[in-house]
Amino acid sequence: MQFRNRRTILLVFLIFLAASATILSTRTGAQDEGWQIVSASYGFRNQRIDVADLLRDLIARGGVNGRLAVNNQTMGGDPAVGKDKSLHILARNRRNEEREFDVNEGGFLDVRFFAVRRDDRDDRPAAYGERDHVRDHDRDRDDPNGLRIMLAYYGVKGRTVNVTDLLRSRVRDGRLNLIVTNGAFGDDPAVGADKVLIVIFRFQGMETATAVREGNMLALP
């Protein structure tokens, strides 16, 4: 399409600038919003568990294609068996404004709305005695179809320990078999409670999650 009238060309140009400014400001606003998670719970009515810490770590991983599946596996268990559960998030931005997010079980959360710092501990230098395990993990990471442990937590509700590195060190020949006990992880984050191991892993190019209760066997893939 061609515009030969000078006034028409000027008008089209101004409209284009206005539209571009609107699009740019919208994108910038979305990126700068940076919602910080204040609290998060998963369940049905008063049968809910605190998932704030777990959710922050899952979001820091970026999800799958920018989305995080909301289900019993990713949320650390089933607090209300047989009920239609939901994830409820209270968040706050840098302007101290608050917003609530609700996602039903089986749905997806867009992680790009949230600002969460990635845990720097995964980047620390390997200690003596861990180097062989690190090399094993790096070799597995080079295989796009092999087993990769993305994130692993052990505990209950808000009392969890990060066992990602420990599970990575236990992978042998592309497999991981482990009985879920306090002794296996060297710590009991919630004495007297029935704990759960949550593992997010990638295998054959697909990322998924599994939940194993204390005392049971974890077998991947």
Per-residue pLDDT tens digits of the chain, which is 221 residues long: 444 454 544 444 444 444 433 433 333 344 346 899 999 999 999 999 888 888 887 888 777 778 888 988 788 778 888 999 999 999 999 889 999 999 999 999 998 889 875 443 343 333 333 344 444 444 445 566 789 998 888 988 668 888 988 999 999 989 999 999 988 888 788 888 889 998 988 888 888 888 899 999 999 98
Supply the pTM of this predicted model: 0.52
Residues 83 and 71 sit within 8 Å (Cβ to Cβ): no
pLDDT at res. 117: 55
Indicate whether 109 and 124 sit together in one domain.
no
pLDDT at res. 89: 96
Choose one of 113, 131, 147: the last residue of a domain: 113
With residue 50 as reference, give the H or E element that holds it. Answer: strand 47-50
Distance CA 11, CA 1 (A): 15
Indicate whether 107 and 132 sit together in one domain.
no
Whether 19 maps to a domain, the answer reads no
Q: What range defines the domain where residue 151 resides?
A: 120-220
Residues 6 or more apart whose Cβ sits within 8 Å of residue 45: 80, 83
pLDDT at res. 28: 35
Whether 153 maps to a domain, the answer reads yes
Beta bridge partners of 2: none
Whether 24 maps to a domain, the answer reads no
Indicate whether 96 and 167 sit together in one domain.
no
Whether 161 maps to a domain, the answer reads yes
Query: Domains in the chain: how many in total?
Result: 2
pLDDT at res. 180: 93
Indicate whether 38 and 97 sit together in one domain.
yes
Task: Label residue 135 exposed, middle or buried (CB < 10 Å: 0-12, 13-18, 19+).
Answer: exposed
pLDDT at res. 47: 92
Tokens of residue 95, six digits: 């302007």
Indicate whether 101 and 131 sit together in one domain.
no
- Per residue, what are the HEC states of 97-160? CEEEEEEECCCEEEHHHECCCCCHHHHCCCCCCCHHHHHHHHHHHHCCCCCEEEEEEEEECCEE
Whether 7 maps to a domain, the answer reads no
Indicate whether 94 and 183 sit together in one domain.
no
Indicate whether 147 and 204 sit together in one domain.
yes
Indicate whether 61 and 40 sit together in one domain.
yes
Helix, strand, or coil here: 177? strand
